[in-house]
Structure 1
Amino acid sequence: MKIPPKAKSPHGATVIRVVKLNKNKLGASLAHTYRTMPVPHADSSRTHLNQDWRPASSPKEVQAEVRKRLELADNVTDNSVRVIEYIVSAPHEAFSEQGGPVAWEKYFRDSLDYLENRHGADNIVGVNVQLDEQTPHLVVYVVPLVRYPATTRKREVIVGKRDGEIVRGVRAFPVPSRTALSATYYMGKRYQLRELQTTFAEEVAIPNGLRRGLHNSAATHVTTRQYHQALLRKMASNLDLTSKDLEFQGMLWSKESPDEHAARITSLVVDHYAPIVESAAKADIEKKRANEMAETARRTEAALEREIEAHRRIREKYSSLVAGLTDDEVKGIREFSRDRLRERQKEEEAKKRENAKRQEVERVERKKQENEKATNLRHMPAETLARLDNHQRIQLWRLAMVRDDLEKTLTRWMESGLFNGDGTLSNRGKTLVEKSAPELHTSHPRRGVSPAIHPKGKRPPSSFER
């Protein structure tokens, strides 16, 4: 019998960070990601190795894609969180280039699949793989759109009077479906971030040879700015050479000015001591990490003690409830509890079957309505589609894209030149709509002007009656 090979143990914790970006913060993040600003810790000779896994490959292009997606939302304000930025990586030694088990491309592809399932592929507007830094990492920009289905809302309203008293009743009002911009939907609660870490580890990290980070962790992210500040502090403490210190010697030794002499000597010292100073800066950060790990252990121990205490209280309460009962009586209570638990499970299973049946009926009804809508769409002119409001038009466009029986209709719409590939209006389509807008306004008389009298005293038919 052949013994299967032993699975590789997880080689370090996965890294997935989430950052909320409003309109002001988005520009700085994009400039850093796409290297349109100086990035000291990136190797400019390797920047050409970075990869874009979306058509947008510059800050300007990503901003344009963000604006397109925001057109679908009905609640965008100047202060809205417009983009969620995900950064995915792993410890430096975990990647295969350093002898670890993680192949960066597969790991990042799996990460992107996970985020597409979480947010929808259309809402991911920028994907950049950065290979010009010491450790590979993936940066993903997501517009957090949420689709809320149509529903009903119940309200208490006045329905009439009875014997002089106001009578109130509950009425159901339809609430139409809508698309909203909502970062809070995905990361508004702390437990949502914990769930993200857990599900990402289960679906992506562990299959790629990594593990989940610690629960109850006190660790915090060391930003690039914090690292550079630590480095500069150590540089300042190790190098304190000024032109004043060398003024006298500089005049005697050479024809260099004090500033030139100081710059040359400082450059030599920096080149010689830079590795030592960088190690010292890292030592500060590692000390911070050690303190955070100690705090993590303390929190975990406290959580365990709380759980033990909760179990102890339950045992005490149970003991007080059965005090004075015989063994047979306690056994009877346990059997009754088990029977009741089985009955509850049966009730829950029956409820699940009922819900599944109801959902199937609703699915069939939605399919029927979709088929009816598709039948009406087959002969819709491109000009008519262009004049619909943006939300309705994109809905119909997406329906045509997923249905084989509307392939010819979709082709006809695309060949009209009135639309972009996602159903939004092209420049030609916008021109058509703008030209038709005045015609709609002229069909209504201006306020304060009496409408013309129609022959035989009849009013002209409205646009609906025509």
Structure 2
Amino acid sequence: MFAVMRFEKLKTFGNIAGVENHCLRLRETSNADSNSSKFNRCIVGDGNISSSVKKRIGNRKVRKNAVLAIEFLLSASPEYFRPDHPENGGEFRKDRVESFEKAVLDWLTNTFGNENIVSVVTHLDEQTPHLHAIFVPIDPTTDKLNASKWFDGKKALAGLQTSFATSVAHLGLKRGVERSTATHTRISEYYTHVNSAMAPEVPQILVEPPPTMIRDTSRSEWAQTESHRLVMIQTPILQPLADSAAEQKREKERRQKAELETSRLSCLLERERIHDIPLPAVFAMCGYEIDPDDKHQYRGPFGRISTETKNGKAKFFNHEKQKSGGGSIDLAMYLEGTDFAGACAFLAGNFDADTISKAAAHKAMAEAKEALKQPAPLPTPDESTWLIAREHLVSVRKLATTTVDRLYQSGKVFSDFRGNVCFRYGQEGVELCGTTDRFSRGFRGKKTGFFSIWRGQKTRSVAVCESAIDAISYAELNPDSSVISSSGLGGKKLIDTLRDLKSKKMKIYAAFNANNTGDDSAQRMMVALPGIERHRPAIDGDDWNNVLQKLKEFSETKNIVISPVAEWDYSRSESRLD
């Protein structure tokens, strides 16, 4: 049985954030069993790896291209963790995992120093248990970042491998062949090999001999029964392989088709390339002269105008007038004091219609590219349509009238000119909920905040829901709980927000919809922040508004009056939420 140690140098906080997302399962991990991810655990640190690394580095000077941290992957041969059945991936003996963890922690702290080990995470949801450790290389003698102290040269690296193997030798583990021709495998390459090697185990099928005293008329029936039995055994194993092969074939055909279309369009654009009119030609038409001392400066009625071309885009600047623009049409509009149509007509005096059309297309393309960089504009409140939106929330969604009115008065909900219901997510985002199938749905603006309703100072629990409608519905069904809707905003920002609330002794519930997507989102959240509990609608496929509607409809048919929910604190605004 062998000890396994791999490491990778992390030189940017982007690299560190990627490691954090993997360790906490904040992104999909194809070779991990999501049902077992809840057993993963942080044995050093709180899971906030990026912040821990920054805190350890502190105010120390970080030179360019410095190694900020080292990620270790530490494991052992499968037969160590499951000696009875090493072939059964995913199984392990708890006592052996704990013994391995203790030995690894002792080695890390003795080798690199306790303060330099900022995070250790145990993964139990993959084929073989292993640990991810994050080490910040602060040299104790100089108090500076200095990875070379431990990782400078083959001799030092071989020494680390030997040292690690010695620390786990009492567990029956040994080092790989020293001075072998094998090369070091980076962690990213290691996972590539793991993923490519994954394949289901094909079962051994025992075909029973036919009964000796079977009649001819029964032989065909026996054969059909036996064939059906074999198909039932093989299908769960072989069908995913067939589906995967078919999907790979379709993907290959799509990729080839896309490459052919890209090549065709590239040739077409090369023949019909949309060129802009050169700026010097426009300057000449408007009576400007080039500065003999600077070919990028032009002199004329508006004073000096400078030009530059960057990434194939021509721009002009009049620093005296604080005016700038890009392209021939913009320049003609500025120098002639006219609009777009007037500039095109002016340029028509020296250029043919095809050239001007291409210049206009060039301007339109440039403006479209700039527009694509901007988030979708936020809808504007329209009071004239509010009664339509209010009726939808009360009559269709079954929300309490007092709830809807107070949300409207507090500015957390409004309607746009189409009558869509709009829920505010901070200052830069709005979630749309159409009041008919023809109207809009989705999100507008930036997902930088959350929709939230706070119960007041006495609240002790917070539920995270998928949409604003679900959050309001959950709050009506659970009068003692505050609510947050993330509307798809997850990852580090949501986890940091929940970590803050948890530090205030709040109980956190992952109250996502009762479907696979909701279950996966809840699982990732519970792994990233242990202590969160799942609160799921009782019926598969339901969200919390479905639950509220069914309860209200039942109460109406039975003539039951539902008591009003507890008062909400609409005036409170948590900075991390709203």
TM-score (norm 1): 0.39
TM-score (norm 2): 0.32
**Structure with more contact order per residue of length (Cα contacts < 8 Å, sep ≥ 6):** 1
Q: Which has the higher helix share?
A: 1
